[in-house]
Structure formats: C-alpha cells, structure tokens
Amino acid sequence: MVNKMKLTSALFLIAAGAFAQPVRPVPAPGVEVPAADRKQLEAGLSRLSAKIAKLPQSPLVADVRIFHDAVRYALTYNEFLKSEEIFKARELLLQGEQRADALASGDAPWTRQTGLVVRGYESKIDGSAQPYGLVVPANWSPVVPHKWRLDAWFHGRSETLTEVNFLWERQRNAGQFTPADAIVVHLYGRFCNANKMAGEVDLFEAIADMKKKYRIDDNRIAVRGFSMGGAAAWHIAAHHAGRWAAAAPGAGFSETAEFLKVFQNETVQPSWWEQKLWRLYDATEYAANLFNLPVVAYSGEIDRQKQAADIMAAFMAKEGLTLTHLIGPQTPHRYHPDSIVEINRRMDAILARGREEYPRRIRFTTYTLRYNRMKWVVVDALDKHWEKARVEAQVTSAHAVELKTANVAALSLDFASGRTLVKPGEATITIDGQAVTVPGPESDRSWNPRLVKRAGKWSAGVPADELRKRHALQGPIDDAFWNRFVMVKPAGQGMHPAVAAWVEAESKRAITEWRRQFRGEAMVKTDAEITDADIASSNLVLWGDPQSNKVLARLADKLPVKWTRDAVVVGGQSYPAATHAAILIYPNPLNPKKYVVLNSGFTYREYDYLNNARQIPKLPDYAVVDITTPPDARFPGKIVLGGFFGERWELLANHGR
C-alpha cells in the first residue's frame, strides 16, 4: 500500500519563482481500503487474470482487460478516491468475468450491443489496455451495410477520472450530445492531459480500433468537447484539420500564455526554447489550417474560458477567416439549452454533407514535421523547425498544380487510387514561381509526385538519403513517448556517485509519473536485457552514463553530445561530469528509424499537472542539467544549457535559437 503521508509530503516542492508552495498530487492519494474489501478485490483480480490468460489471441481480449486493469491500478496504486469506488470495482470485475466467460465460449455479446458500451484496445505505446466509451444508436446492427457518422468527444478536466470511474460513468451517462444515426465515442485520452502526447495518440488508436469493429464513414467524423475537452477539440482540429468533417470546441483553452493570464493571472516566464515549444500545441499558430475545416465554436457569455474562442477568432481573422462562435447569453461555464439546439442544427448540416477529402485548394501551416500533412499535401522536410512553414496549394487545370511555400525544403502530393484531380499525361507543378514538369497520374488514377529544394531551386525528387529530421523523427524529447518505448535502466556502476543517485531518482520518477499521468505501465528492462527486437521496434530511453549503461556505451561515440569521466561536452561548451548529466533525443545509431533518449521521461512535471495549458514539452532536443540544484516540480535540476539540433540532427552554433 502507498503511504499517503509520504506521497503528499514528497510533493511539497518548489513550484514557481523563489518561493516554495505545496503542489497537490494529481491524482490525489486514495482512501484506505478495508482489509476484507482488499481481500475480495484481490481474489476477483486473480480469477479474472486467470481467465484472461486462457483466452485466445484476439483484439477482443482488450475489451476484458480494461476491467481487470482498472481495478488493479486502483488497488495497487492507492487510487480508490472515494469509498463507493470499491463497490464500483467489484461490479466491474464481475463484468470482466462475464465477458471473459463469453469470449472463452466463442461469443462476444457486447460487440452486438447498442446504447452505452465500453470497449478497449491494446496501445502500441506501452501495451496497456486503454478504454473508450461508445453511444451506439438503436438502429445500428453489425450486419447492416451502412457507414456511420462518428462524433469523437473529449471529456472535461477531472482529476478523479480513474479508469474505474471512467468505465462506470460511460455505462450510465450518454453525454449531452447524442446525434441521431451517429456513433459517439467518448475518449479516455489517458486521463487528464487535454489529449496531448499519448492522449492525442489515444484518439487515433481508438478510431483505428473502432474501424475494425464498426463501419465508420471516414468522411463524417467530427471532433467535439467542452472545457478541457474543448481545448482538445481546438488543438486536434487545428493540427489535423484534413482528417475531420467538422469540429465543435466548447470553452477550453487554445494557447498557453494569454490563457494563463486570463484564467489564473499567471505571467509566464519561459526559457527561449519553451517559448518555441509553445508552437507545438498552440492552436492559434495553426489557425490557417481551419480554412480546410468547418468549425462551430461555443462559449458562455460570462465564462472566462470564452477567451479561447475569442483569441482563435482573432488569429483566424488574420488569415481572412471568420469564426462561427455561438455564445450562450449570460451563461457561465456550461452549455446554454438554446445553444445546444443551434450547435446540433449546424453540425448535423455539415456532417450530412461530409468532408471534402480532395479539395482543389488547400492552405497549410505547421511548425514541426510531427504535423506534416493537410489532405493531399505532405511536407517531408523543413528549412528550420519551430519557425512557421506554409503551403498554399491549388489544382489550377487538368494538368497543372500551383504551390506557394515558406520554410519548406521538400514535399509530396498524395492522391490515392482513383482520387487525383489531374488528368493522365505530363503535368506541371509551379512551385514558388518555378515550373517543374513531372509524370502525370498512373493508370489507377493515383498521383504521388515528390519535390525537393536544393540551393533555393525546386526539382522533382526526394531529399538525400541521409540523417535528417522527418515526420515522427524530429524531436523534441517528449516525441519519443508518442510511440512504443522501453525504459532501459543501467546495471553497472556510474562514473560519479552523485550523478548515479540522480539517475536512479529521476528514472524511478519517470516510470511512476508515466503511469500516474498517462495511465499505462512503462516497459522497463536493464541494459543487459535489451534485444535486437527491442532496438528494431522501440524508442530506447537510456538511463545512466556511458560507463553504467551498456547500451549507451555501444553508441556513445556516435552521439553529438560527448560524455566522459571528466566532462559533458556539447559543441564548444564543457561541464564537469561529477555534477552534470546529459539529456537528449536523437535517432538511435543502432536503428535510425527509432529514437534514443538519455535520462528523461516526458518533460513537464508536477506543477504543470495543475493546469492543462502548461502541459507542453519543457525541454528541447538536448539539455545539460546541473544536479547540484535539486529536482523540483518544474525541472530535473538547473538547466544550464538547452538547444535544438539542426535539420540534419547536427549541433548548431546558436543551439537552434
């Protein structure tokens, strides 16, 4: 059992400025579980675990695991937040056993169920079983050849939304919006992060899982949410505008700095790299992308979080776009009944028409190759990360496309079979005023020309096959945790005792906080246990130094940051190795298609758990930490150096400022 006093005391940390303040833990420590209840729950978990072990390999096993893991997490990690949740856990275990028994007999009745249904999938990130809730219309049937509209709903902030409470709620509450002839999916989003990072991946993994089980119309998917869920809807809409038919964000936040000033009178004082990293999630910076997506925003007239839609409207206006912003009269932080009717009317009309998958004209803005696609335009390389990149694309005739770009070094046009807007025969792509002749569509009417810029001149072709930043291999450090990763702990003795102690404490914290904040259990191995299969399949998070960690020793000479017994050296700057440690992300020299990370989990910390607008990366591609300053609720020590690698993963003289 977790000792609540120790856990709470451990989180009385330096939170801001030069003063200390208590940082309440998220989630809070749970209540005491009576011995008899604990014994009963443990017995139920044991029975369900045994039944799961006997089930055949099937995606449906995750539909059973979600019940087991919900209760196991709550019991193991002291997360029964109220006494009544113990009763909920018993009921969920019974449901899990019923599903396991049915699946063992070759049946799965919940797969034919309408109304409120909970399902699950196994995540590629950490192998966890992640839950999602469905509202399935009464006229749905697995045998009806009909494609269904899907509304993806992002929940509001709730620090008590453990898996037990999520599963319980999703089987009893359909939510405020249940459009006719539509399936609604309520995303868990890995708890309380505004669907960022692994919470963002949750959306796409859940939809992919649903498509295996339900006939979903790709061109009639909407993203919606309120409060924290509204914030999620803003960023998912702006970053992935080409994927959806419509978006309906309510309240929430849409950027960091101005929202924190309005919402809690906080003046943010970021480092230069943190300020650049705001461009990862600030939806305002991606406002031009909403040219490609219908949006119906909502705010209460007297809700402070109306600020989110107001600032989005201002940034959209700079792009020549006018935001549809419905406002509930004299309404605080909730939906006005009349506004619900009007939101439904507008969304139903948009969804009836559906998404225009291959429009003749596209506008696209990004700051990172993590977000590199808008419908049929794919950005393959940037001139410089974290600066604004733009693409204006238009099919101007049966044999011509016109592109205008900024901060783009390579791109592709991607028309699937039968979908090209260009006729067969040679085609001309005019890009930034330069005419490039390319072969036209193939016989299946697919078309995938690729263009690259060299010395300011565009031509047909691709970037050189060299180490470079590319989609899902562009940093920063937090990007490693969007895909499968393994925490690799050192088995050897470190070069310096103080650094070794820091590594041990920070690695334990990273493993613990992954589970608490992203609701899975990190895969952990020692350096001696890492296999070729791990190197091929996973991002490796290496803890320790080149002496203590055998895997790090294998590749240390191939990293741009040098770490010896005497010094940590970054370019021309050197720091004493006895009191400093290296943190970085870099393509793994043993498998450049995956990352290697040194000495870091996700980089926002306890202080940032308290407001979702702060839950953004806090460190760039690399950093050096002075461990003589103890870790706190903001940083792992004193960050004496931080920077971004260049587009070829090289060290830059100005560290990427």
The confidence band for 509, taking pLDDT boundaries of 50, 70 and 90, is: very high
pLDDT score recorded for residue 425: 95
Lowest mean pLDDT among 225-229, 257-261, 394-398, 566-570: 257-261
Distance (Å, whole) CA 223 – CA 293: 11
Indicate whether 287 pLDDT > 60: yes
What local confidence, expressed as pLDDT, does residue 641 receive?
Answer: 98
- Residues 202, 131: Cα–Cα separation, whole Å: 9
Cα dihedral sign for 28, 29, 35, 38?
Answer: positive
Burial profile 79-101: b = 16 or more Cβ within 10 angstroms, e = fewer: bbbeeebbebbeebbebbbebbe
pLDDT above 90 for 638: yes
Question: Among residues of the chain, what percentage have pLDDT more than 70?
Answer: 97
Question: What is the dihedral sign for C-alpha 217, 219, 223, 224?
Answer: negative
Q: Domains of the chain, with CATH numbers?
A: 113-353 (3.40.50.1820), 373-460 (no CATH), 477-643 (3.30.379)
Task: Give the pLDDT band (50/70/90) at residue 136.
Answer: very high
Query: With 70 as the cut, is the pLDDT of residue 268 above it?
Result: yes
Say which residues have a Cβ less than 8 Å from residue 334's Cβ, sequence separation at least 6.
Answer: 300, 328
Helix (H, G, I), strand (E, B) or coil at 195: coil
Report the distance separating Cα 656 and Cα 385, nearest Å.
9
103-131: per-residue pLDDT in tens?
A: 999 999 999 999 999 999 999 999 999 99
Q: What's residue 3's pLDDT?
A: 38
| The pLDDT of residue 406 is above 60 | yes
The confidence score (pLDDT) of residue 349 equals 98
Q: What angle do CA 285, 286, 292 make, to 5 degrees?
A: 155
Strands (E) located in 360-456: 361-366, 373-374, 377-382, 389-397, 400-406, 408-413, 427-431, 434-438, 450-454
Structure-token pair, residue 508 = 């334990």
pLDDT at 42 over 80: yes
Structure tokens at 470: 């590319």
**80 has a pLDDT exceeding 90:** yes
Q: Are 49 and 68 in contact (CB under 8 A)?
A: yes
Amino acid at position 44, single letter? G
Q: What is the DSSP letter of 2?
A: -
Give per-residue pLDDT as tens, 350-382. Answer: 999 999 999 999 999 999 999 999 999 999 999
pLDDT confidence of residue 21: 57
Q: CA-to-CA distance for 5 and 372, rounded, in angstroms?
A: 46
Give residue 262's pLDDT.
87
Task: Report the alpha-carbon distance of residue 609 to residue 368 in Å, rounded.
Answer: 24
What percent of the chain is modeled with pLDDT above 90?
94
Estimate to the nearest angstrom the gap between the alpha carbon of 205 and the chain centroid: 11
